[in-house]
């Protein structure tokens, strides 16, 4: 199966410090891949490279349908079909949930286009579909700033999904959530993967264990190992990195 995303020998040099040291990674269609590792492992830097926020010193990022994208500008990468949600929710708190999604619909983003855009039946149906997917259909007319923390996170995920990406990057999506919210988010991520591949950076090992199928472990800017969570837990290098020899991850 051809991957939707391929990272080849990605290196990032920050004035002599290599944050990434030749990372190779494939993400496939309808896949939820978790990216884990200790602080400073290079996980967020890799997401930065994929979405164009940080330029790779060496290597290639190949995205299906667009070819090599690592030299492209951020907005062009987004237009090509890669969406990213950062850890802290970024929403318009004074607008309603519906209005937040309406502003995020994939369309021409010029000032004139936004001012003259009309809410046609197709756009409304798309918003209704996303509202149901993120379980905020009953909050559609509520100001976004009044939502619970988990609901704000789901709203921003919806704001990314409504742009119809082929790959969604999530950076610690369950940070600050309650147990119930975390579980709902796990199921939401797998539901999303039916239409859009998902790459998740996460530190919560219980969440990774419960909702992962494929895991990539990073350490000191390099990929340490890949596999199922069960396989990763038994890897001696991973055990050493996380907890010290003789102990198991999670």
Give the angle subtended at the CA of 61 by the CAs of 167 and 73, to the nearest 5°. Answer: 80
For residue 154 the two structure tokens come to 């789901």
Which pTM does this prediction carry?
0.90
Outline where DSSP puts E strands in 28-177: 32-36, 58-63, 67-68, 82-85, 167-171
Residues with Cβ within 8 Å of 108's Cβ and at least 6 positions away in sequence, in order, are none
Structure tokens at 198: 């998902």
Task: Give the pLDDT score at 122.
Answer: 85
**What pLDDT sits at residue 219?**
95
pLDDT at 117: 56
**What's the confidence (pLDDT) of residue 194?**
96
* Ramachandran category for residue 22: left, alpha or beta (phi over 0 → left; psi -120 to 50 → alpha): left
Q: What is the pLDDT of residue 196?
A: 95
The ranges of the chain with pLDDT < 70 are: 106-119, 243-250
Structure confidence at residue 191 (pLDDT)? 97
pLDDT tens-digit readout, 108-167: 455 555 555 566 788 899 999 999 999 999 999 999 999 999 999 999 999 999 999 999
Q: How many CA atoms lie within 13 A of 14 on its CB side?
A: 9
Q: What is the CATH number of domain 3-243?
A: 3.40.50.300
């Amino acid at each position: 199966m051809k991957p939707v995303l391929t990272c080849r020998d990605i290196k990032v040099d920050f004035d002599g410090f290599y944050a990434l040291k030749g990372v190779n990674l494939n993400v496939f269609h309808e896949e939820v891949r978790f990216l884990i590792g200790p602080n400073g492992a290079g996980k967020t830097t890799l997401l930065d490279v994929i979405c164009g926020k940080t330029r790779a010193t060496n290597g290639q990022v190949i995205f299906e349908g667009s070819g090599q994208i690592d030299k492209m500008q951020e907005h062009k990468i987004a237009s090509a079909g890669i969406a990213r949600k950062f850890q802290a929710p970024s929403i318009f708190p004074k607008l309603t949930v519906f209005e937040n999604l309406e502003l995020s619909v994939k369309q021409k983003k010029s000032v004139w286009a936004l001012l003259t855009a009309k809410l046609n039946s197709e756009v409304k149906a798309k918003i209704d579909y996303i509202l149901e997917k993120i379980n905020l259909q009953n909050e559609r007319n509520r100001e976004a700033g009044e939502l619970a923390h988990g609901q704000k996170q789901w709203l921003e995920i919806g704001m990314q999904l409504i742009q119809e990406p082929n790959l969604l990057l999530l950076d610690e999506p369950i940070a600050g959530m309650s147990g119930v919210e975390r579980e709902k988010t796990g199921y939401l991520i797998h539901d999303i993967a039916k239409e859009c591949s998902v790459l998740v950076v996460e530190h919560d090992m219980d969440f990774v264990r419960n909702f992962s199928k494929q895991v990539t472990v990073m350490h000191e800017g390099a990929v340490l190992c890949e596999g199922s969570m069960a396989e990763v837990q038994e890897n001696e290098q991973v055990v050493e990195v996380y907890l010290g020899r003789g102990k198991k991850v999670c």
